[in-house]
A and B are shown apart, each in its own frame.
Chain A
Amino acid sequence: MEFTLLPLAILFTSLGIVPLLFALPERSARLRTTINLTAAAIKVGLVAWLSWRVSQGTIYGVGFEVLPGLAFKLQADPLAILFIALSSILWLITTIYSVGYLEKGPHRARFFGFFSLCVAATVGIAMAGNLFTFLLFYELLTIATYPLVIHRGTAEALRAGRIYLIYTLAGGLVLLVGTLWLWVMAGSTDFAAGGMMADIAAASPVQALMLFVVLIAGLGVKAALVPFHAWLPIAMVAPAPVSALLHAVAVVKAGAFGIMRVVYEVFGIHVAVDLGVTLPLAIAAGITIIYGSLRALTQDDIKKRLAYSTVSQVSYITLGVALASPIAAIGALAHLIHQGLMKITMFMAAGNLAEGLGVKSVSAMNGVGRRMPGTMLAFTLAALAMIGLPPLAGFVSKWYLASGGLDAGQGWVIALLLASSLLNAAYFLPMLHRAWFVDADAGAGAQESARQRPIGWMLSAPPLVTAALVLIAGGLANAPFSPLEWTRFVVAIEYRE
């Protein structure tokens, strides 16, 4: 017997606890943690079940009409599973981390309420069965993340929050117009493998082209494509677990995932190629990759450096999508997962440095490796993976991207990836060098790093776990149910004629 409401149940594990979390008194920390972790664990279980069923060929879908002709539609297809699996696992880990991070901090009820809402929105984005539903959750994500970004309530946080809100809401509005236009033009917003724009693109290519531009612009804001990226480094004022989630799972990934959906399942990759939009998109992604890396080089603030690195790395996904080659697509999809694992590790590690040692800038990182070996081990693994060292996760995705570039006849991609990797190395290796090989008393930030506070297991364990996942995802890339394998499964569907 089939439990057809499974997608709703998964959504509900995050959404249903939101009112509970808001209503809990501030002091009921233990109860709150129990609720959070139980829900997260149930969700991982449900997602595992769902993945199993989907891999067997079952497609789940539920929906009901919201506006005339337009349905709220949840659909668990393989592409969705990819994203849900990432978010549910990382949610569990980040929740543990947040509990440790916010211990005794103010406004925890509010924080965890919006945190859950944020995850619910991510799940909704993943399972959206049409662009309309995608839009609903895309906006919900904006609403849910804003209070998290400004959680500290300082003037700086509010300023950052305002910029964040302006960018994301404007992006959402553009996406709204795009969705509406698609609906008016095509009479449907459904995601369907192979797309549904073939006829329209043939009939009125100019309009289809404009629609594509509008949709990508709307999504590009959250995906932090240059020139819509400025909010991302500014949003760094958020607490570390929020930054981790924003960069690894929620916001930027929502944008990248949306681009994927639009290219593959609204237009269809072949239509997109025929329209001639893929190459410009690839170039935009390439520019973003280089620009982000260059900016990252000069940042002294650890989180800012990581943020620019995200700008760069997320565009790998877009690049892979835009290359219009199945091999590159495998790289893109795999990178969706891999980048999430790597980046969340680094942000949690950065948070630990700030919490435990008060280290917030690169120049103060001297000798931290000896003082917080576990954390720095995780950080190092993730950084090396980012650079693309085999057999770590980052290498796998870069390999496929490069092969895809060749496959698509775009040789410049190889050069781009090489340059990017060199730049990655240029901004990550000095950090590793300072951490492991420079003495603590040397350097400009010695004063800053003088104090030390013990951090609990809830802070130290999560980055290690995710670092292990980075290792496993890369090392066991060919095992069944590894991200790469699942990706192949998805791409086989999307590139089906």
Chain B
Amino acid sequence: MSEFASIDWLALTVFAPLLGAVASFLAPRMAPQIGFASLTVTALCVVMLAAQVIAGGPVIVSLGGWGAPLGLDLRADGLGIVMLGMTMLVGLFVSLGALDSFSAAREGEENARMRLYFWPLWLLLLSGLNGAYVSTDIFNLYVMIEVIALAAIGLTVLTGRLEAMRAGLEYMFASMLGALLFLMAVGLAYLQAGRLDFAGLAAHAGEPAMMLAFALMLVGLALKTALFPLHFWLPRAHASASAPASALLSGLVLKASLYILLRFWVEIFGPGSLIGLTVGLMGTGAVIWGSVQALRTQRLKLLVAWSTVAQIGLICVAFALADTIGAQTAWQGAVLLMVAHAVAKAAMFLAAGRIAQETGHDRIADLDRTHLRPTLAQFAFALAAISLIGLPPSAGFAGKWLLMEGAMRAGAWIWVVVAMAGTLFSVAYLSRPLIGFLRFDRAPDPVGEHHGWAIADAPPLMLAFIAAISGLAAVQIIGVLDIGAPFGPFP
């Protein structure tokens, strides 16, 4: 055990996927095998790190032995472990899905291209994500979000189709602008504080340059998180990518910037309630607008993408409770909702991809006009919907419960109403495809019960199942989450 303890599992969570990406880029033909090997190793690192953290509290590594503020410190606390675990869980299953989506059995040059480039891009993305979750330095985070952004854009346009390219360019612009606002904020923070580590900056919170820096970061990260009204780039980008790419983009990539925002909020800036209220209102706008668009859209993947806008908005309600007595509960709820959304949305995109693959289209109105019913994929979609709506015993339910509890403890009933509205909206738009799955009187032929089952249904199904029952493990997740008190000691 002592030998294991001396290994830097923390740094390895970033390095393992990085070296895997290098190897998979060098040996394109072996990319899936290499990709899985490196994912497995990364998962092992995360597990070992989690064991360390659970046993002995937060792990901190001073890279190069210098220590902040001169050097860079990596840190894994409960919040980091939860995010890393979420990333690995979703990542592993989406990779399984990708194995089929880009399998060598499928014809076509485009598919060959996707098979070659999916793995290096995804492993580089993973490296950036893991790096963001363990970073404690704002400039280091800037570099990480650029790694994430470029890899994410690569994944967005992987299909090579024109609409994906256009959506990717729009995403690129939004993402670059977000990153540059962030960079300007880094500059202002250094101007004020002369250092970049979280702890050092926290001491300067409230000074004018830091306040402007925070405002810029808030906008930049909101842009990357697609928080209403800065969501304009998301639906097309997520809807036009290939299914595994959409799953990663919607499930994981958005969470990284949301996580950074959350981290800054509680650890560095601790802004006043007015900004919290603003973010909460933006979240409310997202819930309404995202839902309305999801109700109107004609395509299944667009519906799923718009639902992301709405769900992210709901999570952001937690920011409005940041300086109330319900803060800790609300933050816990927000993190649970993030995890729930990551798992469920990844499952949903994979399932939507499978449905489109089996039926040959993704028009919502025509889902019931065919005898082709990929029932397993549809079942996975429905299970994922349960979590997104927030019905028990899903993690989405647990998260929503805690969020509403936080709001109630704070006496802020308005956010309870928003959460309820979000739930009703999500029922309304998610029932559109579900009704399509279950309606039979317009199908031309008798509908077969077990039609269109394939081994590729397993990843979405398992993910959706995990999403649907993981609320029962909420208290364990929160137990891990609270290690190192990421949300601070609140009264």
Contact = CB atoms under 8 A, between A and B. Distances in A.
B408 interface: yes
Given A165-B427, A173-B420, A180-B405, A66 B472 contact: yes
Contacts of A154: 439-441
A-B pairs, 7 with minimum CB distance: A153-B440, A136-B392, A154-B441, A26-B449, A65-B475, A184-B408, A139-B391
B472 A153 contact: no
Given A67-B402, A106-B447, A143 B391 contact: yes
Nearest to A151: B438
Which residue of A72, A172, A176 has the most chain B CB atoms within 10 A of its CB atom?
A176
Interface residues of B, number: 34
B392 A67 contact: no
Interface of B: 332, 379, 386, 391-393, 397-398, 401-402, 404-405, 408-409, 416, 420, 423-424, 427, 431, 435, 438-441, 446-447, 449-450, 471-472, 474-475, 478
A166 B408 CA distance: 24
Main secondary structure of the interface of B (DSSP, over half): helix
Report the contact-size class of chain A (Cβ under 8 Å from the partner).
35 or more
Interface string A139-181: 1101100010010111100100110011001101100110011
A162 B431 contact: yes
B386 A184 contact: no
A295 interface: no
B449 A107 contact: yes
Given A66-B398, A177-B416, A180-B404, A147 B424 contact: no
Given A139-B391, A177-B416, A67 B427 contact: no
A68 B471 contact: no
Contact of A67 (B391, B398, B441): B398
B438 A147 contact: yes
B326 to A, nearest CB: 9
B490 to A, nearest CB: 14
B439 A153 contact: yes
Given A66-B472, A181-B408, A184-B408, A155 B449 contact: no
Contacts of A26: 449-450
A117 interface: no
A328 interface: no
Contacts of A25: 449-450
A467 B478 CA distance: 52
A68 B392 CA distance: 16
10 contacts: A154-B439, A154-B441, A162-B431, A169-B424, A169-B427, A172-B391, A173-B424, A177-B404, A184-B405, A184-B409
Given A67-B402, A139-B391, A166-B427, 17 more contacts: A22-B379, A26-B449, A65-B475, A68-B332, A68-B478, A106-B440, A106-B446, A136-B392, A139-B392, A150-B438, A165-B427, A169-B427, A172-B391, A176-B401, A176-B404, A177-B416, A181-B408
Nearest to B478: A68
A109 B359 CA distance: 22
Contact of B386 (A143, A162, A165): A143
A68 B405 CA distance: 11
Interface in A93-112: 106-107, 109-110
A137 to B, nearest CB: 8
A384 to B, nearest CB: 39
A479 to B, nearest CB: 40
B102 to A, nearest CB: 28
A333 interface: no
Contacts of A228: none
Contacts of A139: 391-392, 397
A481 interface: no
Interface string A51-84: 0000000000000011110001000000000000
B393 A136 contact: yes
Contacts of B446: 106
Nearest to A110: B449
Nearest to B332: A68
B367 to A, nearest CB: 12
A228 to B, nearest CB: 16
Nearest to B329: A68
B449 A109 contact: yes
B475 A155 contact: no
Contacts of B438: 147, 150, 153, 158, 161
A180 B420 contact: no
Contacts of A22: 379
A155 B402 contact: no
B333 to A, nearest CB: 10
A106 B404 contact: no
B474 to A, nearest CB: 5
A33 B397 CA distance: 34
A110 B397 CA distance: 25
Nearest to A26: B449
A183 B405 CA distance: 9
A22 B461 CA distance: 13
A184 B325 CA distance: 12
A115 to B, nearest CB: 16
A68 B475 contact: yes
Contacts of B416: 177, 180
Which residue of A67, A140, A158 has the most chain B CB atoms within 10 A of its CB atom?
A67
Nearest to B393: A136
Interface string A102-136: 00001101100000000000000000000000011
A177 B408 CA distance: 9
Which residue of B392, B420, B440 has the most chain A CB atoms within 10 A of its CB atom?
B392
A66 B404 contact: no
Nearest to B428: A166
B408 A180 contact: yes
B332 to A, nearest CB: 8
A184 B404 CA distance: 10
A140 B441 contact: no
Contact of B471 (A66, A177, A184): A66
A177 B420 contact: yes
Contacts of A170: 424
A181 B405 CA distance: 8
Given A66-B398, A67-B398, A140 B392 contact: yes
Which residue of B401, B404, B446, B472 has the most chain A CB atoms within 10 A of its CB atom?
B401
